[in-house]
Chain A
Amino acid sequence: MKWRNSVLRIAYCVVTSFYAIRNTQYATGFRLLLIVLVISLMQPAPLLITYGPQQTVQTNHPIVGVHTRLTDEVEEWKIQRTLQMVREMGASWVVELFPWAYYHAADGGIAWEHPDMVVNHAAAQGLQVVARIGLTPDWARPPDTPLTYLDETAYDDFAEFAARFAARYRGKVTHIIIGNEPNLSYEWGYRPATAEDYVELLKVVYPAVKEANPDVVVLAGALAPTLEPAGSPWGLNDLEYLAQMYEAGAADYFDGLAVHSYGLTFPAEAEPAPDVLNFRRIELVREVMVAYGDAETNIFVTEFGWNDHPRWTMAVRPGQRIQNTLDAYRYAEENWPYVEMMALWAFRFPAPTRSFMDYYTLVTPEFVTKPIYDEIKEFTGN
């Protein structure tokens, strides 16, 4: 009713103004102004987008997942199209970032519209959602600190958001990752990345989330593969960091471990070694878990893949990228019973980055599929 009254009021003003000046020297100009005003008010009706019938993922390889980047995707039809294409490719899992900083206001209010849209469309496509939660709102961190800065004074606030998130999306978001690559100082607010600090965070967030939604699987990590030695300003070797996490008592505060593993210029089956970063570094991560008596806990590879940028020194040719990716899935299925899923970085970006990042994707911003998409689709039996 308010909407109708406003329209009537505007129409009344327009008509009375028109009659008031109809015989003045400004009549022509004013008429033009009115026409422009009326045209500017005439907006096309918004697209009607429905979730459609419930879909299920058809796949011969349930391990296949992708990391989507819908955080900055504004248009709902693009969110829906992305998730449809993920399902059509035969991927059962999506990993997606849900930034705390984007949603949670200082007064406690949470803007759920965008995450609702993403989660509900993913659920309609039959996809299992792994939600990565992180990035601190400015009200929860000191001035002039970056989004990745989260210290103990804000752990309770973060836990509250994570718990509300877990409760709201019960049954739709099955896994939650606490933070991202905490072993890198960049991801830890440009502070020394210490496992002890991260474990303290887990100790606050884990019980809150499980109380809100006992079904959700809480993932720690995801650790970034790096060889940085102790004392480096950039971060800490992921294997050392993981050992320090266990030493700090992390084992009781996560249900699964999220891991990132990039193949760089190595083939998928290249032998792992402590001083080498390649895809099978996951086996070394696993060794640490077993050494600390945590063999029952599974690994979730929430980012992996190869890049085929023509000039990046860490890239391979596009054909190698396809081969390595399929080999990686096959190798993991045959050899790693403890790996539940592997999400390729990254499905699609909302806009081109004009850098090597564009050459990780499976689909262009315009939804044109790359051959790697078609190969994975064939691999999953679609």
Chain B
Amino acid sequence: MNKLALLTLLLLFTAACRPADDSWERVQAAGVLKVGLDPTYPPFEVADAAGVSGLDVDLARALAADLGVAAEFVYFGFDGLYDALATEQVDVLLSALVIAPERGKDFAFTEPYFNAGQVLIVPAGDTAIGEMADLDGRTLAVELGALGHVEATTWAKRIPDLTVRPYTTGDEALTAVLTGEADAALIDAISGRLYLKEQPQLQIVQEVTVEPFAIIVRIEDEQLLARLNTSLEDLRQSGELDDIIGKWLGD
């Protein structure tokens, strides 16, 4: 019993030795959430004379409002984002960044807010194709050389009578579905949704791969991470997250 008490005491002591996480208090005291982004990636973030706008910008503002602070945007080049966060130039990164487990030693990721992976697109109302496995004997349009093409080639090894037809651009692949030249298209979710925004005759039936976008904080900022996850869940529950995504990428 004494040994157990000693062990508990030791664990408590070790925990107490960790540096205090004041990340949330810091943001709260400043009244500002500093958001790092690379504003060259429409429709997620783009800066012009009128200022910065995009899906991530709206999301950052909504999160900040939920947290009771203001969002302040700081621009960096795509390659400099993680360094900017590590050197405490910003509190978070919100810039269409994919969860990178390799960076887990230094950074923490919120729950994903968008899946940018490959999606399967078919003509609206087509009930025969609900997933990749339904493509036996069908033609699948892809963008030449893109990740959808790589994924489709992998599926073609499993589905004996699947024809993969590459097109020069993603839009051409989707147009092929529209005109009946192909039965379906496998394309990244951003390109696909942007096309569907203008062409409602097509529909997404399956998210085939996962490329999750998340908000990123420094690994020690656990309090801020927890607050962001709670706010993200609030936005999800209230439907505001869907509204923001729908505004920029279509419903």
Partner-B contacts on A (CB < 8 A): 308, 310-313, 317-319, 321-322, 351-356, 364, 368-372
Q: Is A371 within 8 A of B169, CB to CB?
A: no
Residues B150 and A322 in contact, CB atoms below 8 Å apart: no
Q: Cβ of A318: which chain B residues have Cβ within 8 Å of it?
A: 143-146, 149
Partner of A311, one of B96, B153, B168: B96
Which of A308, A351, A354, A364 is in CB contact (< 8 Å) with B98? A354
Residue ranges of B at the interface with A (Cβ–Cβ < 8 Å): 38, 40-41, 78-79, 96, 98, 100, 102-103, 143-146, 149-150, 153-154, 166, 168-169, 188, 190
* B79 adjacent to A319 (CB under 8 Å): no
Known: A319-B169, A322-B144, A322-B145. A371 touches B150 (CB 8 A): yes
Q: Given the interface contacts A311-B41, A371-B166, does A354 sit within 8 Å of B150 by beta carbon?
A: no
The answer to whether residues A368 and B154 also contact, given A318-B144, A354-B102 and a CB cut-off of 8 A, is yes
Set A317, A321, A356, A368: member contacting B150, Cβ < 8 A: A368
Residue of B103, B146, B188 contacting most chain A CB atoms (<10 Å): B146
CA distance A321 to B168 in the complex (A): 11
Contacts of B149 in A (CB 8 A): 318, 370-371
- Which secondary structure dominates chain B's binding surface? mixed
Known: A352-B102, A370-B150, A371-B166. A308 touches B145 (CB 8 A): yes
List of A residues within 8 angstroms of B96 by Cβ: 311
Given A355-B78, A370-B150, A311–B40 Cβ distance below 8 Å? yes
Closest to B99 in A: A354
Whether B78 contacts A364 by the Cβ 8 Å rule is: no
Pick the residue among A310, A321, A355, A369 that contacts B188 (CB under 8 A).
A310
A137–B130 alpha-carbon span in the complex (Å) = 57
Distance A356 CA – B41 CA, assembled complex (angstroms): 13
Q: Is the CB of A351 within 8 A of B78?
A: no
| Residue of B40, B100, B146 touching A313 (CB-CB under 8 A) | B40
Most buried by B among A310, A364, A370: A310
For residue A310, which residues in chain B have a CB less than 8 angstroms away from its CB?
A: 188, 190
Give Cα A47 to B88, complex, Å: 45
Instruction: Tell me the complex Cα distance, A353–B102, Å.
Output: 8
Contacts of B169 in A (CB 8 A): 317, 319
Note all chain A residues with C-beta closer than 8 A to B188: 310
| Contact across chains for A355 and B79 when beta carbons are under 8 A apart | yes
Q: List 20 A-B contacts (CB under 8 A).
A: A308-B145, A311-B38, A311-B40, A311-B41, A311-B96, A317-B145, A318-B143, A319-B144, A319-B166, A321-B145, A351-B102, A354-B100, A354-B103, A355-B78, A356-B78, A368-B150, A368-B154, A371-B144, A371-B145, A371-B150
Closest to A371 in B: B145
For the A-B complex with A352-B100, A370-B149 known, give 4 more contacts whose Cβ atoms are closer than 8 Å.
A311-B78, A317-B143, A317-B146, A354-B100
Identity of the chain A residue whose Cβ is nearest the Cβ of B41 in the assembled complex: A311
Q: How far is the CA of A322 from the CA of B168 in the complex (A)?
A: 11
Contact, CB under 8 Å: A319 / B143: yes
CA distance A353 to B188 in the complex (A): 19
CA distance A312 to B98 in the complex (A): 14
> B38, B145, B168: which contacts A372 (Cβ < 8 A)?
B145
List the 5 shortest-distance A-B pairs measured between CB atoms, nearest first.
A318-B145, A319-B144, A354-B100, A371-B145, A311-B41
Q: Could you tell me the distance in whole angstroms from the C-beta of B42 to the nearest C-beta in chain A?
A: 9
Q: In the bound complex, how far is the Cα of B144 from the Cα of A313, in angstroms?
A: 19
CB-CB under 8 A from A371, the residues of chain B are 144-145, 149-150, 153, 166
Complexed CA–CA distance, A317 and B166 (Å): 13
Cα-based distance from A353 to B98 in the complex (angstroms): 11
A319, A354, A355: the one within 8 Å of B145 (CB): A319
Could you tell me the distance between the alpha carbons of A377 and B207 in the complex, rounded to whole angstroms? 31
| B103 proximity list for chain A (CB < 8 A) | 354
Interface centre among B41, B143, B144 (most CB of A within 10 A): B144
Does the CB pair A370–B145 fall under 8 Å? yes
Q: Please name the residue on chain A nearest to B100 by beta carbon.
A: A354
Which residues of chain A are within 8 angstroms of B153 by Cβ–Cβ distance?
369, 371
For the complex formed, measure the closest distance between the CB of B23 and the CB atoms of chain A, giving whole angstroms. 23
Enumerate chain A residues within 8 angstroms of B38, measured Cβ to Cβ. 311
Inter-chain contacts of A355 with B (CB < 8 A): 78-79
What residues of chain B lie closer than 8 Å to A352, measured between beta carbons? 100, 102
Tell me how far the C-beta of A151 lies from the nearest C-beta in chain B, rounded to whole angstroms.
Answer: 27
Q: How far apart are B77's CB and chain A's nearest CB, in angstroms?
A: 9
Contacts of B150 in A (CB 8 A): 364, 368-371
A313 vs B98: C-alpha distance in the bound complex, in angstroms?
Answer: 18
Question: Whose C-beta in chain B lies nearest to the C-beta of A370?
Answer: B150
B95 CB to nearest chain A CB (Å): 10
With a cutoff of 8 Å between Cβ atoms, the chain A residues found around residue B78 in the complex are: 311-312, 355-356
Measured between beta carbons, the chain B residues less than 8 angstroms from A313 are 40
- Distance in angstroms between the alpha carbons of A296 and B149 in the assembled complex: 44
